[in-house]
Each structure stands twice: as structure tokens, then as C-alpha cells.
Amino acid sequence: MKAVSIDKITPAENVALTEIPVPEVRPGWVLVKVKAFGMNHSEQILRLSEIEADYISKPIVPGIECVGEVADASDTNFTVGQKVTALMGGMGRSFNGSYAEYALLPAHHVFAIESELPWERLAAVPETYFTAWGSLFECLQLKPADTLLIRGATCALGYAAIQIAKALGCKVIATTHKESKLPLLADADEAILDDGQLAGNVNATKALELVGAKTVRDTLRCMVKGGIVCHTGLLGGVYTLDSFDPIKEIPNEVYLTGFFSNYPTQQKVDEIFSFLNEHKLQPVYGEFFDFEHIRDACTALDGGKVNGKIVVKI
Ligand SMILES: NC(=O)c1ccc[n+]([C@@H]2O[C@H](COP(=O)([O-])OP(=O)(O)OC[C@H]3O[C@@H](n4cnc5c(N)ncnc54)[C@H](OP(=O)(O)O)[C@@H]3O)[C@@H](O)[C@H]2O)c1
């Protein structure tokens, strides 16, 4: 089968399709014929640096998510031809991922999907919508009456979160650090140019923090009493809160939580597709590439110029 397989630091220009054997099925694992996959910042990090880490199995086929059809169900309850998605749980890190025509995946990280959306639309859903869903509903307990601040909204996750929150009926305030990108946030009720200091100008009941540690202290001060901030993204490139003093820096009656997408469940996948169907939402994406052009897709990912999810169709 055709796949991308890497064992050392691999800039986008060195990404190439190679021939490797179709994986052999084993108990508890499902062979999936990959139809399409979304791309993620973490795959760029894998190619450009993390590949050298001891905990990465090498050589590795990158790709932390996919949609496709069951090609061999092994000893599981899946059936051949069933439409499925898989994400996270070590995919593309501890075992081979989705940049391939077939992926052998642990059954507990493969989920049935019922949807008539075309593959490339479906592929925009798994990681991005699961993360948006978990952040908004599990962590932020989002309700229609909420005013939601989305900080760093010009990313795949931000566009999905705007779509979901607007469908729910919330007021959405979305920010970008680039004036030229304000028009991309037209679906929000307010689009704000973020200079790093929003406190005093924004009052929200819930906040989805996608810039991360760089701005979360300020985001906490944008909350009304009872407000919740969910720290989900790292776009600002600052990963930890140095010298964080929770007593002084989390305002009284404001709550800070975080979301990690490593634990998807069938129930959550079902909830997401029900919500999309119920609200007649088309999953949002930035650009499609054919698998033959995986190098261009990686170049686009590394360049950060695509507005929204990059999807590769096999
Ligand atoms: N917690 C989890 O489990 C989880 C799961 C998935 C993703 N994430 C994180 O969520 C974030 C969004 O993921 P994604 O896949 O949606 O990203 P993405 O679509 O790849 O977004 C990348 C884009 O974000 C934009 N961006 C917006 N605000 C930015 C800022 N303040 N600084 C730098 N760039 C900014 C950049 O464009 P401009 O600079 O041109 O605006 C860049 O092109 C990432 O940090 C990702 O690691 C977390």
C-alpha cells in the first residue's frame, strides 16, 4: 500500500509516498481502509522534532485521525464495509497512523459513524469537532444563554467552535491577532483584534482559550462571576504558566479547566453527528488535497496559510 513513513526529522519538502505492506490483522485491532484524513499541528511537530523522541515508535506512519471503511474486522463487532472514524490514543505515534491506504487500529479507538456526508467533509470532523465538543459541552457546560469568548479563533478548532456555539444559540465573541483575518470571523457576533489585553473590554460567561498560556491570565479576567475558561489550544507557542499564582490570578468565582482529546468515546462521536444532523451543519474545512499531493498538504500545514482544516482524500 502507499503510505508516508518517517524515521527521522522530515521537513515538508522531503515528505514522499512509499510502498509498505498492508498491516496484518490481529485480535482486538481493526483494519481500516482509509478514505480521508484531517491534518493536525501535532503531526507537523512529529515530523519536525518529536520524531527523535524515544517514545515514538520508528519508522512511523504519521496521522492522528481518519475516516474510512472497515476492511477486516478481526475478532471485533465491526462489520466489513462499516463506516468508521478513529482518532488519538497513540495513533501516528505509538502505532502507525492515517497517512496510508490502510491503518490497523485498536478497536477501542475506532468508532462507528452514521452520516451521508462525503468523505472529505467527514474527515474534517473527528479530532477538530471532538475537541470543540468536549471543550464546549464537557468542560464549559455551554448553554444557549452563554456569551462565549473564543480566543485565537482563526484556526480549524475556532471555526468549528463558532459554528457549534452559534447553532446552539450563544452569543459568540471571536478574536484574531491579525487585522486582515477579522473578516474570517464574520459568523461570530463580534470579531475582535486581539492585542493580548482584552480584560476590561470583554465580559463573557464562557471562554475557549486557543492561544493558550500566552493569554489565559488575561482571559480569566474577561469572565463574569461564575464564568469558566477552558484551556484547549497552544497557538501562542507558550506551553506552561510560569510562576502561576492561582489564588491571585484566578478571579474569585471564576473557574479554569482544560481539555485533552485523547479519550474519545462512541457516545461522544454519536452526539457530535446527531448535533450536526439536527442543525443541518456542514463540517467546516479549509482546503482539500489528494493523497498523491501529500507533500503539498504538509507544506500547507507547515506554512500555516490555510484558513481551517486541511483534509487529504485517498
Ligand atoms: N487540547 C487538545 O486536546 C487539542 C486538540 C486539538 C488541537 N489542539 C490545539 O488547538 C489549537 C488549534 O488547533 P487547530 O488544529 O485548529 O489549528 P490550525 O487549524 O492548524 O490553526 C493554525 C492557525 O492558527 C492561527 N492562529 C490563530 N491565533 C493565533 C495566535 N495567537 N498565534 C499563533 N497562531 C494563531 C494561525 O494563523 P494566523 O496566525 O494567521 O492567525 C495558524 O495558521 C492548536 O494549538 C492545537 O495544538 C488541542
Residue 135, ligand 1, Cβ within 6 A: no
CB-ligand 1 contact for 176 (6 Å cutoff): yes
Instruction: Give the residue among 68, 184, 61 at the shortest CA–CA distance from 120.
Output: 68
Clarify whether residues 109 and 146 are in a common domain: no
Does the CB atom of residue 150 touch ligand 1 within 6 A?
no
State residue 305's pLDDT score.
Answer: 87
Give the separation between CA 98 and CA 210, rounded to whole angstroms. 25
Beta-carbon contacts of residue 185 (< 8 Å; ≥ 6 apart): 153, 154, 162, 174, 175, 176, 191
| 277 occurs within a structural domain | no
C-alpha span between 280 and 297 (Å, rounded):
28
Contact 244, 268 (CB under 8 A): no
Cα 73 to middle of ligand 1, angstroms: 35
Give yes or no for residue 186 having a pLDDT over 90: yes
CB 198 within 8 Å of CB 222:
yes
Counting the structural domains of the chain, the total is 2
> Does residue 311's CB lie within 6 angstroms of at least one atom of ligand 1?
no
Over the stretch 292-303, which tens digit does the pLDDT of each residue have? 999 999 999 999
Atom 48 in ligand 1: which residue has the minimum CA distance? 233
Q: Domain range for residue 297?
A: 2-124+285-313
* Structure confidence by residue, pLDDT tens digits, 241-284: 999 999 999 999 999 999 999 999 999 999 999 999 999 999 99
Task: Please give the grid coordinates belonging to residue 169.
Answer: 444559540
CA of 155 from ligand 1 middle (Å) equals 5
Residues 162 and 175 in one domain: yes
- Domain shared by 254 and 138, yes or no: yes
Domain of residue 11, CATH code: 3.90.180.10
Q: What is the pTM of this model?
A: 0.96
Residues above pLDDT 70, as percent of the chain: 100
Answer yes or no: is 275 within a domain.
Answer: no
Q: Is the CB of 177 under 6 A from ligand 1?
A: yes
69-113 tens-digit pLDDT: 999 999 999 999 999 999 999 999 999 999 999 999 999 999 999
Ligand 1 atom at minimal distance to the Cα of residue 42: 47
Per-residue pLDDT reduced to its tens digit, 20-39: 999 999 999 999 999 999 99
141 shares a domain with 119? no
Whether residues 18 and 79 share a domain: the answer is: yes
61 and 154 belong to one structural domain: no
Which residue owns the Cα nearest ligand 1 atom 41?
154
Is the domain of 158 the same as that of 176? yes
Domain shared by 16 and 115, yes or no: yes
Report the separation in Å between the CA atom of 157 and the middle of ligand 1, taken as the mean of its atom positions: 7
Query: How far, in Å, is the centroid of ligand 1 from the Cα of 31?
Result: 31
The domain that holds 173 is classified in CATH as 3.40.50.720
| 119 touches 100 (CB < 8 A) | no
**The C-alpha cell of 260 is what?**
485533552
* 263 in contact with ligand 1, CB cutoff 6 A: no
In angstroms, what CA-CA distances link 20 with 74, 159, 278, 289? 21, 36, 41, 21
Measured in degrees and rounded to the nearest 5, phi and psi for residue 93 equal: -135, -60
Best of 44, 133, 182, 210 for a ligand 1 pocket test (most atoms within 8 Å of beta carbon): 210
Asked if residue 98 belongs to a domain, the reply is yes
